[in-house]
Amino acid sequence: MTSTVPVEDLRVGMYIHLDLGWMQHPFAMSSFRIQSEEQIAIVRGLGLSRLRWDPEASLPPDSVKDAEVDDDAVVTAAQASLDPAAVQAEARRARLAAHRQQTAQLDRECSEAGRALREASRRALQDPEAAREDAQALSRKLLDRLAVQGEVCIRLVNSQAGDRASAHGLNVAVVSLLLGRSLGLDDDAMSTLGLGAMLHDIGKLELPDRLRHLDEGFNTAQVNAYREHVAHGVTIGRRMGLSTAVLAVIGQHHELADGSGFPLRLQAEPTTQAARIVAIADQYDKLCNPAVLTRALTPHEAVSMLFTQHRQRLDAALLGSFIRMMGVYPAGSVVQLTDDRYAMVVAVNSSRPLKPRVLVHDTGVPRDEALLLDLEREDGLGIRRSLSVARLPDAARAYLAPPAQLHYFFEPAPQEAEVC
């Protein structure tokens, strides 16, 4: 339970919540444990007189330096005297509540990022320089979130990220930046990648709505009109004052390694690495979130299709890195475990992609106590197979409630607590 505290009383070890928009403060997260006096000084400079903090998630004053949080220590000494079944139920509820609280925070931040991208795109035609500044600010915010030591989780969130174009641009940016981080790209390369990924489809602003999403029923004239969004995007990008490297991402994200792409039918070598990364992320998100939702693939199916049907058209080395990063069962995948229970993957740690965190459908557990399992910690339990949502039994589908559209965001994993 949270309470409020004057900013003058902040100390290292307190877990605080900044009730500001994600773009209104310089921290990667809006809720975090204070690690240094420097962070306290920054918080005090935000103009807040009081803020919320969580005593239970904070470290005691006398143990800040050497205390470590044990994520498994859910059963307290007081609970030990209770009925074991009641203790287990309470532990499940606590873990699920913590997961939902984290997800709700990520939902809000992802939604704010989507709205910021939508606003930047809206301004691109009327005030291109201001649109560039807005997009750069959002890109820096995303990069700040990745500029942490240790591991990063890719999380499935229920964001209302604005319109479809903004949601797609944000998804492509998140996936592209995660891949860039896993490849060890430097700051300049990551900045180019983030901005180019967010704005890769900016040229669609010049197209009629009916032509913004390629459809199998398009005639030749409609296909050619759709493909014009690349040239439009480069033109808009120049008006915005984007760098040559970012313009290359916009101009090349539909080029393919086998020369079958557009607009110039370039093969892999003449294109930039950032453009080839965005091409993979773009294809992946379109498979998971197509214009016609009935054609959507699960993340597992999308990864499999990229490997089996698109690997000749995409950069082979980058595609291999993408699959290793996302895992065989990316967040959002619906699976059956080796003990026959059904589950949905809710988070994947980029360093342990074969051991995701899953929400489990267990007929003996009420939905408000649903099991959240980290498969790395579950001896003898793994994933047997992936399923399409349509193949889930009705009861499991209602219990797990897989979203119709997938939105991703990333979350630094606190080193003192396993959250992925």
Residue 230 has pLDDT above 90, yes or no: yes
Q: Are 318 and 176 in contact (CB under 8 A)?
A: no
Inter-CA distances, 313 with 248, 266, 273, 279, 291, Å:
18, 11, 14, 10, 22
Q: State which amino acid sits at residue 210.
A: R
What number is the average pLDDT over the span 385-398? Answer: 93
Q: Which amino acid is at 17?
A: H
The full 3-state SS of the chain, as one line of letters, equals: CCEEEEHHHCCCCCEEECCCCHHHCCCCCCEEECCCHHHHHHHHCCCCCEEEECHHHCCCHHHCCCCCCCCCCCCCCCHHHCCHHHHHHHHHHHHHHHHHHHHHHHHHHHHHHHHHHHHHHHHCCCCHHHHHHHHHHHHHHHHHHHCCCCCEEEEEECCCCCCHHHHHHHHHHHHHHHHHHHCCCCHHHHHHHHHHHHCCCHHHHHCCHHHCCCCCCCCHHHHHHHHHHHHHHHHHHHHHCCCHHHHHHHHHCCCCCECCCCCCCCECCCCCHHHHHHHHHHHHHHHHCCCCHHHCCCHHHHHHHHHHHCCCCCCHHHHHHHHHHHCCCCCCCEEEECCCCEEEEEEEECCCCCCCEEEEECCCCCHHHCEEEEHHHCCCCCEEEEECHHHCCHHHHHHHCCCCCCEEEEEECCCCCCCC
Q: Rounded to whole angstroms, how far apart are CA atoms 43 and 26?
A: 9
Q: For residue 225, which amino acid is it? A: A
The rounded mean pLDDT for the chain is: 86
288 closest CA partner among 341, 234, 345, 231? 345
Reading the block at residue 161, the tokens are 């990220």
How confident is the model at residue 408, as a pLDDT? 85
Give pLDDT, residue 102: 76
The tokens describing 377, both together, are 């910690």
| Tokens linked to 333 | 């995948």
Pick the CATH number of 96-147+161-294+301-321 from 1.10.10.10, 2.40.50.100, 1.10.274.10, 1.10.3210.10: 1.10.3210.10
Tens digit of each residue's pLDDT (9 = 90 or more) over 80-123:
455 677 766 676 677 777 777 777 788 888 888 999 999 999 99
**154-186: pLDDT as tens digits:** 888 876 656 889 999 999 999 999 999 999 999
420 pLDDT more than 50: no
- The whole-angstrom distance between residue 404's C-alpha and the CA centroid of its chain comes to 16
pLDDT tens-digit series, residues 317-371: 999 999 988 888 898 999 999 999 999 999 887 667 778 889 999 998 898 888 8
pLDDT of residue 324: 87
Q: How far is CA 385 from CA 113, 157, 343, in A?
A: 34, 23, 11
Find tokens 């983030």 and name the residue.
Answer: 194
At 66 the pLDDT is 44
Lowest mean pLDDT among 84-98, 213-227, 336-350, 406-420: 406-420
Report the 10 Å Cβ neighbour count for 188.
10
Share of the chain above pLDDT 70, in %: 89
Q: How much is the pLDDT for 64?
A: 52
In the block, which residue shows the tokens 């035609």? Answer: 125
Quick check: 304 and 329 in contact, CB under 8 A? no
Integer Rg of the chain from CA: 23
Instruction: Check: pTM over 0.95? Answer yes or no.
Output: no
Q: Which two tokens stand for residue 180?
A: 């860039």
In terms of Cα–Cα distance, which of 167, 234, 154, 163 is closest to 196? 234
- pLDDT category at 218 given cuts 50, 70, 90 is very high
| Of the listed ranges 69-73, 146-150, 228-232, 306-310, the one predicted with least confidence | 69-73
Is the pLDDT at 288 greater than 50, yes or no? yes
pLDDT, average across residues 206-232:
95
Highest mean pLDDT among 44-53, 72-81, 197-206: 197-206
Taking the C-alpha atoms of residue 238 and residue 181, their distance in angstroms, rounded to an integer, is: 27
Q: In this structure, which amino acid lies at residue 96?
A: L
pLDDT-based confidence at 411, cuts 50/70/90? Answer: confident
What CA dihedral angle connects 109, 114, 116 and 121, to 10 degrees?
Answer: 170
Give pLDDT, residue 290.
92
What pLDDT, on a 0 to 100 scale, did the predictor assign at position 322?
94
* Percent above pLDDT 90 for the chain: 52
| Bridge partners (DSSP) listed for residue 153 | 349, 411
The pLDDT, as a whole number, for residue 70 is 44
Q: Per-residue confidence at 1, pLDDT binned at 50, 70, 90?
A: low
Region of 10 (left: φ > 0; alpha: ψ -120 to 50; beta: rest) is beta
Please tell me the predicted confidence (pLDDT) of residue 250: 98
- Domain extent listing, the chain: 1-54, 96-147+161-294+301-321
Are 16 and 46 within 8 A, CB to CB? no
